[in-house]
Structure 1
Amino acid sequence: MACLFGAMAFRHSWRSYQARILDDLEAHLDDRKLHIVAAPGAGKTVLGLEIIRKLGLRTLVLAPSLLVRDQWIDRLRSDFLSDPDVDLSQYVSTDPAADVVFRVSTYQSIHQRRGEALPACELLCLDEAHHLRKSWWHTLSQLAEHHDCVTLSLTATPPYDAVAHEWANYDALCGPIDAEISAPELVATSDLCPHQDLVYTAVTTCSAQYMRNVQEEAESFSQLRADREMLAQIAAHSWIVDCKKHADEILNNAQLFSAMLVYLQDAGCSVPTYARRLLQIEIADIPSLSWEWLEFLFAGLKKDLPATILDVLARSGALHNDRITLPARKFTKRTEILQDDASRMQACLEIHALERSIRGPGLRQAILVDRVGRLSLKSALPSDGYNAASMFQRLLSDGDPGDLAIMTGQFIVLPRGLAEGIESKDLPDAAGYVLLMGRSFDAAVTRANQAFRFGEVRVVIGTQAFLGQGWDAPSLNSLILGTNLSSFVAVNQLRGRALRIDRFAPEKSANIWHLAILPDEDVVGEDLTALERRFACFARIDRDAGEIRSYFAPEQRSDVQNAKALRLARSYETLHSDWAEALDVGDDIGGRLVRESCVNWRQSQLILPRPRGVAHWFRGLIGQPIPEAEVERMLLRLARVVLESLRQLSEIRTDHDARLYVAKGAVGFSVGVQNASRFEETLFHDTLRELLNPVANPRYLIQLPSGLFRRNAQFFAVPSRFDGHKRRAQVFWRNWQAMVGRGTLTYTRTIAGRGVLQAARLKSAGHHSETHLLWR
Structure 2
Amino acid sequence: MSLFNTPLTFKFPWRDYQGKFLDGFQEHITDNHLHVIAPPGSGKTILGLEMLLRIGKPTLVLAPTLTIRNQWRDRLVDFFEPAPANDVLSLSIKDPALLTFSSYQSLFALHRSFGENANEQLVQFIKKHNIETLVLDEAHHLKNEWWNCLFQLKGIEGLTIVSLTATPPYDSSALEINRYFELCGPIDDEIAVPDLIKNEDLCPHQDFIYFSRPDDAQIKYIVSYREQIIDFTNDLLENDTFQSFLMSLEIYQNSETSLEHIYENPSFFSSILIYLRATGHEIEPAKLNILGFKTKDVDFPSFTYEWSQCLLQEVLVNERDNFVAHESILMPIEKALRTIGVLERKKVDFIGNQDLYRNLANSPSKLKSIYEILKDTSKYLKTETRAVVLTDYIRKEFLDFKGKELSKLNKLGVVSIFHFLMAQDGFDTQVGVLTGSLIILHRTALEELRSVMPESNLRTEALDFVKDYYFINVPESGKNKIVAAVTKLFENGTINILIGTKALLGEGWDAPSINTLVLASYVGSFVSSNQMRGRAIRVDADVENKTGAIWHLACLDPTTEDGGKDMEKLKQRFQAFNGVSLNDEPYIENGLARLGLPEKLNADLDIDALNTGMLQEAQNRSVLKNRWDTAIASGNVLIRALKVPYEKEVPFRKTKRLAGLNAVKYLSVQVITGITLFLPEFMLKNFGALLNKGWLSFVYLLGSAIMVGFGPKTLKALKVYFLFGNQFKKTKKIATAVLAQLKSKNLLTTKSDALRIISEQNVNGTFMIYLEGANQHDCNLFVSLLDEIIAPIENPRYLLVGQSWIKRKLGFRSYYVVPTQFARRKEDAVQFKKHWNTHVDGSKILFTRNLEGRKHLLKARFAHMRYQFEEVSEKTVIWK
User: Could you state the TM-score of these two structures normalised by the residue count of structure 1?
Assistant: 0.91
Matched, 1:431 2:463: no
Indicate how the Cα distance of structure 1 residues 523 and 732 shifts in structure 2: closer, same or farther if over 3 A, else same. closer
Question: How much has 1:314 moved relative to structure 2?
Answer: 2.2
Q: State the AA in 1 paired with 2:90.
A: S
Deviates more, 1:316-325 or 1:374-383: 316-325
In 1, Cα distance between equivalents of 2:358 and 2:369: 17
Partner of 1:715: 815
- 1:651-670 → structure 2 map (5 Å cutoff): 651-654=747-750, 655-665=752-762, 666-670=764-768
Indicate how the Cα distance of structure 1 residues 132 and 731 shifts in structure 2: closer, same or farther if over 3 A, else same. farther
Task: Determine helix, strand or coil for the equivalent of 2:486.
Answer: helix
Question: How much has 1:213 moved relative to structure 2?
Answer: 0.9
Aligned to 1:339, which of 333, 345, 361?
A: 361
Deviates more, 1:593-602 or 1:545-554: 593-602
Partner of 1:289: 303
Aligned to 1:159, which of 169, 176, 189?
A: 169
Matched, 1:131 2:141: yes
Partner of 1:770: 874
Aligned to 1:407, which of 414, 418, 434?
A: 434
Q: Which runs of 5+ in 1 are unaligned?
A: none
Q: Deviations over 1:269-297 (max 9, x none)?
A: 32323333343334544333234433443
Find the structure with the greater CA-based Rg: 2
Partner of 1:58: 58
Partner of 1:207: 219
Partner of 1:263: 275
Partner of 1:186: 196
Indicate how the Cα distance of structure 1 residues 289 and 133 shifts in structure 2: closer, same or farther if over 3 A, else same. farther
Task: Determine helix, strand or coil for the equivalent of 2:62.
Answer: strand
User: Could you state the TM-score of these two structures normalised by the residue count of structure 2?
Assistant: 0.81
Contact 2:438–2:471 (8 Å) recurs in 1: no
Q: Deviations over 1:619-671 (max 9, x none)?
A: 54666402655333211111112222222222223323211122122133221
Indicate how the Cα distance of structure 1 residues 276 and 316 shifts in structure 2: closer, same or farther if over 3 A, else same. closer
Partner of 2:392: 370
Partner of 1:89: 86
Q: Deviations over 1:584-629 (max 9, x none)?
A: 21x6xx3434433324265999xx9xx9xxx999954666402655
Aligned to 1:749, which of 849, 857, 876?
A: 849
Q: Deviations over 1:235-275 (max 9, x none)?
A: 56676667667667655654433223222332343232333
Indicate how the Cα distance of structure 1 residues 340 and 48 shifts in structure 2: closer, same or farther if over 3 A, else same. closer
In 1, Cα distance between equivalents of 2:521 and 2:284: 53
Partner of 1:473: 511
Q: State the AA in 1 paired with 2:878.
A: L
Contact 1:598–1:772 (8 Å) recurs in 2: no
Question: How much has 1:403 moved relative to structure 2?
Answer: 2.8
Partner of 2:693: none
Task: Determine helix, strand or coil for the equivalent of 1:67.
Answer: helix
Deviates more, 1:128-137 or 1:511-520: 128-137
Matched, 1:596 2:642: yes
Q: Which runs of 5+ in 2 are unaligned?
A: 115-124, 662-667, 669-710
Task: Determine helix, strand or coil for the equivalent of 2:30.
Answer: coil
Matched, 1:15 2:15: yes
- 1:294-313 → structure 2 map (5 Å cutoff): 294-298=308-312, 299=314, 302=320, 303=323, 307-313=328-334
Contact 1:366–1:478 (8 Å) recurs in 2: yes
Q: State the AA in 2 paired with 1:598.
A: V
In 2, Cα distance between equivalents of 1:743 and 1:241: 36
Aligned to 1:554, which of 597, 608, 616?
A: 597
Q: Deviations over 1:737-775 (max 9, x none)?
A: 111232221111111111111111103555321222222
Question: How much has 1:554 moved relative to structure 2?
Answer: 2.0
Matched, 1:227 2:324: no
Task: Determine helix, strand or coil for the equivalent of 1:698.
Answer: coil
Contact 1:645–1:732 (8 Å) recurs in 2: yes
Indicate how the Cα distance of structure 1 residues 262 and 55 shifts in structure 2: closer, same or farther if over 3 A, else same. same
In 2, Cα distance between equivalents of 1:323 and 1:71: 41
Contact 1:153–1:174 (8 Å) recurs in 2: yes
Contact 1:123–1:151 (8 Å) recurs in 2: yes
Q: State the AA in 2 paired with 1:314.
A: K
In 2, Cα distance between equivalents of 1:2 and 1:322: 57
Task: Determine helix, strand or coil for the equivalent of 2:822.
Answer: coil
Question: How much has 1:492 moved relative to structure 2?
Answer: 0.7
Q: Deviations over 1:102-143 (max 9, x none)?
A: 111222222222245463311111112221352222222224
Indicate how the Cα distance of structure 1 residues 259 and 91 shifts in structure 2: closer, same or farther if over 3 A, else same. same
Contact 2:65–2:103 (8 Å) recurs in 1: yes
Matched, 1:349 2:349: no
Q: Deviations over 1:337-387 (max 9, x none)?
A: 213452121111111111110111111010111112345445555772532
- 1:70-85 → structure 2 map (5 Å cutoff): 70-82=70-82
Deviates more, 1:218-227 or 1:121-130: 218-227
Contact 1:598–1:670 (8 Å) recurs in 2: yes
Q: Deviations over 1:509-545 (max 9, x none)?
A: 0110000012349872221222122222322222213
Aligned to 2:493, which of 449, 452, 455?
A: 455
Q: State the AA in 2 paired with 1:325.
A: K
Question: How much has 1:307 moved relative to structure 2?
Answer: 4.2
In 2, Cα distance between equivalents of 1:188 and 1:691: 37
Contact 2:429–2:496 (8 Å) recurs in 1: no
In 1, Cα distance between equivalents of 2:174 and 2:209: 28
Larger proportion of helix: 2
Partner of 1:508: 546
Question: How much has 1:309 moved relative to structure 2?
Answer: 5.0
Task: Determine helix, strand or coil for the equivalent of 1:191.
Answer: coil
Contact 2:167–2:576 (8 Å) recurs in 1: no
In 2, Cα distance between equivalents of 1:330 and 1:173: 32
Contact 1:120–1:147 (8 Å) recurs in 2: no
Aligned to 2:572, which of 521, 533, 544?
A: 533
Indicate how the Cα distance of structure 1 residues 374 and 601 shifts in structure 2: closer, same or farther if over 3 A, else same. closer
Question: How much has 1:165 moved relative to structure 2?
Answer: 1.9
Question: How much has 1:323 moved relative to structure 2?
Answer: 8.9
Matched, 1:671 2:769: yes
Percent sequence identity over aligned pairs: 27
Q: How many residues are aligned here?
A: 764
Task: Determine helix, strand or coil for the equivalent of 2:754.
Answer: coil
In 2, Cα distance between equivalents of 1:381 and 1:155: 46
Indicate how the Cα distance of structure 1 residues 133 and 251 shifts in structure 2: closer, same or farther if over 3 A, else same. same
Contact 2:297–2:863 (8 Å) recurs in 1: no
Q: State the AA in 2 paired with 1:652.
A: L
Task: Determine helix, strand or coil for the equivalent of 1:29.
Answer: helix
Q: Deviations over 1:701-754 (max 9, x none)?
A: 112244439667621121111222212211221111111232221111111111
In 2, Cα distance between equivalents of 1:379 and 1:251: 60
Contact 1:714–1:763 (8 Å) recurs in 2: no
